[in-house]
């Protein structure tokens, strides 16, 4: 096989026709054996899978029709555990995660400036902690409402989340409603969504919208714009501690490029700031209907 590869022959050359000469040497060999090709396909990237599907109609039927291939590819590339159940095919979930889409691509394109994919994490319980600062140990705020918790500590507990795999992006956008005279017109947003969001009808038809759930202001100079989302059940996990140890992954003081850290049950971002008069942090959530589960979260930071 190594010699064939050096001569530039395709890995699929032996399967160019069911009448391959290999059959005469090995009568029981079937180069179109589904089980074998399913296992081979699991070692390929998404792009290679699409290329393999274009070889002929047999491969197209196998690759596009065998959802276990795309399930394996999704969990492998997102580096997350398998959720108990999903409501869409894995090939659709893979496409929505890796086709270059982000939430501002579907709505408010005129507000969008730039973005980067952080990665995927897992929410195993319906309760998360939203924080605008990172410290160890992480303090869980006490309060009757989200607004009360934010006013006293700058962090809050959010309940009734849709559990499963979530995807996190860092967005740079123009302020949607800029009511601060000193604002330069841009803000940083930690944008997290359940992996099924872009496929749901309520999101696609625009009936689900982001609602502000609270805000918090820092009225003096702050060194960085920081935000994090943590599965409350796993605050003491070693991987979560790595996210909280911001000194280990934040940029050097003179580096203004944003940095992010993601773990199995947490995600956080930080951007160093030049001299400023403070920050306004806003928290938004999208629910699957008026009383539905939270299916997307945004933590936005705007200079005062």
pLDDT in tens, 157-196: 999 999 999 999 999 888 755 554 555 567 899 999 999 9
Given this model, what pLDDT does residue 184 score?
Answer: 55
Mean pLDDT, the chain, integer? 86
Given this model, what pLDDT does residue 14 score?
Answer: 42
Q: Kindly state the tokens that stand for 163.
A: 């559990």
Q: Which residues, 6+ apart, have CB-to-CB distance to 245 below 8 Å?
A: 136
Q: How confident is the model at residue 30 (pLDDT cuts 50, 70, 90)?
A: low
Given this model, what pLDDT does residue 94 score?
Answer: 97
Cα separation values, 108 from 83, 105, 201, 210, 266, Å: 31, 7, 18, 12, 27
Q: Exposed (0-12), middle (13-18) or buried (19+): which is 256, by Cβ within 10 Å?
A: exposed
Given this model, what pLDDT does residue 161 score?
Answer: 97
Q: How confident is the model at residue 262 (pLDDT cuts 50, 70, 90)?
A: very high
Give the highest mean pLDDT range of 20-29, 98-107, 262-271, 295-304.
Answer: 262-271
* Greater model confidence, 274 or 23: 274
In the DSSP assignment, the letter for residue 40 is: H
Place of tokens 């006293």: 152
Q: Which residues pair with 172 in a beta bridge?
A: 114, 188
Q: What percent of the chain has pLDDT above 90?
A: 64
| 11-20, 33-42, 131-140, range with the lowest pLDDT | 11-20
d(CA 237, CA 78): 20
Q: Kindly state the tokens that stand for 176.
A: 């949607």
Above 80 in pLDDT, residue 293? Answer: yes
Above 70 in pLDDT, residue 5? Answer: no
pLDDT digits 0-9 by tens, 195-241: 999 999 999 999 999 999 999 899 999 999 999 999 999 999 999 99
d(CA 219, CA 151): 13
Above 80 in pLDDT, residue 122? Answer: yes
* Greater model confidence, 198 or 30: 198
Q: Which helix (H) or strand (E) holds 96?
A: helix 90-98
Q: How confident is the model at residue 24 (pLDDT cuts 50, 70, 90)?
A: very low
DSSP labels, 245-283: -GGGTSPPTT--S-EEEEETTEEEEEEE--S-S-EEEEE
Above 50 in pLDDT, residue 1? Answer: no
Above 90 in pLDDT, residue 54? Answer: yes
pTM of the model: 0.84
């Amino acid at each position: 096989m190594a010699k064939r590869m050096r001569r530039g022959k395709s890995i699929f050359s032996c399967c160019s026709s069911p009448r391959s000469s290999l059959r005469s040497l090995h009568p029981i060999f079937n180069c179109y054996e589904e089980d074998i090709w399913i296992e081979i396909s699991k070692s390929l990237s998404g792009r290679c899978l699409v290329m393999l599907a274009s070889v002929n109609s047999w491969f197209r039927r196998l690759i596009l029709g065998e959802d276990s291939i795309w399930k394996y590819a999704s969990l492998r590339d997102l580096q997350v555990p398998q959720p108990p159940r999903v409501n869409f095919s894995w090939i659709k979930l893979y496409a929505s995660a890796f086709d270059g889409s982000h939430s501002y691509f579907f709505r408010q394109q005129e507000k969008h400036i730039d973005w980067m994919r952080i990665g995927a994490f897992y929410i195993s319980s319906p309760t998360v902690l939203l924080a605008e600062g990172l410290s160890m140990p992480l303090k869980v705020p006490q309060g009757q409402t989200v607004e009360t918790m934010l006013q006293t500590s700058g962090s809050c507990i959010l309940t009734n989340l849709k559990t499963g795999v979530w995807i996190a992006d860092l967005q740079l956008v123009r302020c949607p409603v800029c009511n601060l005279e000193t604002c330069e017109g841009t803000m940083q947003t930690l944008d997290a969504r359940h992996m099924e969001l872009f496929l749901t009808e309520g999101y696609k038809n625009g009936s689900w919208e982001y609602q502000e759930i609270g805000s918090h202001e820092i009225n003096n100079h702050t060194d960085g714009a920081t935000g994090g989302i943590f599965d409350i059940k796993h605050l003491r996990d070693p991987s979560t501690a790595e996210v909280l140890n911001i000194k280990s992954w934040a940029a050097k003081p003179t580096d203004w490029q944003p940095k992010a850290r993601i773990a199995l049950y947490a995600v956080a971002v930080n951007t160093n700031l030049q001299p400023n008069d403070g920050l306004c942090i806003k928290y938004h959530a999208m629910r699957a209907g008026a009383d539905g589960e939270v299916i997307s979260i945004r933590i936005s930071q705007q200079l005062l």
